[in-house]
Homo-oligomer: A and B are copies of this chain.
Amino acid sequence: MADQDRGGGGLDYRSAGVDLEKADRAKEGIRSLVEGTRDRWTLSGLGSFGGLYQVPDDVESPVLVSSADGVGTKLKLAFRTGVHDTVGQDLVNHCVNDILVQGARPLFFMDYLATGEMDEGVIEAVVAGMARACQENRCSLLGGETAQMPDFYQPGEYDLAGFIVGIVGRKQILDGSRVQDGDLLVGLPSSGLHTNGYTLARKIIFERAGLSVEDKIPGTTETVGPALLRIHRSYLPSLGPELERDSIRAMAHITGGGIPGNLPRVLPEGLGARILKDSWQVPALFQALAQLGDVDVQEMFRVFNMGVGMIVVTDPDEGPELVARLRDRGEGAWILGRVEAGEGVELE
Interface string of A208-252 (1 = CB under 8 A from B): 100000000000000000000000000000000000000000001
Is A67 in contact with B52, judged by CB distance below 8 angstroms?
no
What chain B residues lie within 8 Å of A170 (beta carbons)? 54
Size class of the A contact interface (CB-based, 8 Å): 35 or more
What sequence of 0s and 1s flags, for each residue 262-294 of chain A, a beta carbon within 8 Å of any chain B beta carbon?
Answer: 000100000000000000000000000000011
Chain B residues with CB under 8 Å of A252's CB are 49
Given the contacts A13-B303, A112-B70, A299-B13, A265 and B47 also touching, CB distance less than 8 Å = yes
Cross-chain contact A298 with B54 (CB below 8 angstroms): no
Contact B6 A296 (CB under 8 A): yes
A149 and B72 in contact (CB under 8 A), knowing A3-B298, A16-B203, A63-B54? Answer: yes
Which residues from chain B contact A173 at a C-beta distance below 8 Å? 43, 52
Is the CB–CB distance between B66 and A203 below 8 Å?
no
Residue among A43, A166, A173 facing the most chain B CB atoms (10 A cut-off): A43
> Is A17 on the interface with B (CB-CB < 8 A)?
yes
Dominant secondary structure of chain A at its interface with chain B: mixed
Task: Report whether A265 and B49 are in contact in the complex, using a CB–CB cutoff of 8 Å.
Answer: yes
Q: Does A316 contact B (CB under 8 A)?
A: no
Chain B nearest Cβ from A252, distance in angstroms:
8
CA–CA, A16 and B104, complex, Å: 35
B-contact 0/1 string along A32-53, CB 8 Å cutoff: 0000000000011001111111
A265 → B minimal CB distance (Å):
7
Contact with A200, one of B11, B48, B147 (Cβ below 8 angstroms): B11
Give chain B residues whose Cβ lies under 8 Å from the Cβ of A147.
70, 72
Among A75, A101, A157, A294, the one with the most B-chain Cβ atoms within 10 Å of its Cβ is A294
**A11 adjacent to B293 (CB under 8 Å):** yes
Q: Which of B64, B151, B199, B345 contacts A150 (CB 8 A)?
A: B199
Minimum CB–CB distance from A48 to chain B (whole Å) comes to 7
Q: Which B residues lie within 8 Å of A142 (CB)?
A: 66
List the B side residues contacting A53 at CB < 8 Å.
Answer: 63-66
Contact B72 A62, beta carbon cutoff 8 Å: no
Q: Which residue of B lies closest to A256 (CB)?
A: B20
Distance in angstroms from A299 CB to nearest chain B CB is 5
A159 at the interface (CB under 8 A from B): yes
Task: A172 to B256: give the CA distance in the assembly, Å.
Answer: 42
Partner pick for A67 among B47, B54, B143, CB 8 A cutoff = B143
Whether A65 lies near B51 (C-beta < 8 A) is yes
Of B12, B20, B52, B112, the residue contacting A295 (CB under 8 A) is B12
Can you report 28 residue pairs joining A to B where beta carbons are below 8 Å apart? A1-B298, A6-B296, A10-B296, A11-B204, A11-B295, A12-B296, A12-B299, A20-B256, A47-B265, A49-B253, A50-B98, A50-B99, A51-B65, A51-B66, A52-B65, A53-B64, A53-B66, A54-B64, A55-B62, A64-B108, A66-B143, A66-B163, A67-B143, A68-B112, A70-B145, A72-B149, A73-B152, A112-B163
List 9 tightest A-B contacts by C-beta distance, closest first: A163-B163, A112-B161, A50-B65, A50-B99, A50-B67, A68-B110, A11-B293, A10-B294, A16-B200
